[in-house]
Amino acid sequence: MDSLLSLFDQTASVVEGEVTDVRSEYSPRTGPWTVVTLGNVRAHLGAAPRELRLKQAGGVLPDGRQLVVSHVPRFVRGARYVVFLRNTGWSLSPVLDEHAFRVESVAGREVLVGAEGG
């Protein structure tokens, strides 16, 4: 597991936004991709536009089957997320090592929930 300093060395920005759209794209050359749109984006570190599109490997194939890629975060429409975006090259997702955290309210306090629910 990367140290905290190593994590920040690879981070271009940390943003928070609401998932306004999740859709699949398919190309015979590059395969299926999922495009996640974050709206009302605000940057906690670095800079970000008010709307951000994250293109990630995986999605719906022409025959209706779905290609699920491990280590690529899943997003839920309508939920808010805090996301660490890479400053390094990537092939599966611009999100740094699954650092996409859903914002939830628990006992009146906002908490960040990771992919495994913790």
Q: What does 33-44 look like in DSSP terms, one character per residue? A: EEEEEEEEEEEE
State pLDDT tens for residues 73-101.
999 999 999 999 999 888 899 999 789 99
Q: What angle do CA 61, 18, 114 make, to 5 degrees?
A: 75
Q: Is residue 10 part of a domain?
A: yes
Position 80 scores a pLDDT of 98
Q: Is residue 118 part of a domain?
A: no
Position 2 scores a pLDDT of 54
User: Tell me, what CATH number does 22's domain have?
Assistant: 2.40.50
Region 99-107: mean pLDDT is: 93
Q: Pick the closest to residue 8 from 49, 52, 45, 54 (CA basis).
A: 45
Domain count, the chain: 1
Q: Is residue 103 part of a domain?
A: yes
Position 38 scores a pLDDT of 98
Domain span at residue 84 reads 4-113
Q: Read off the pTM.
A: 0.88
Q: Is residue 94 part of a domain?
A: yes
Q: Is residue 77 part of a domain?
A: yes
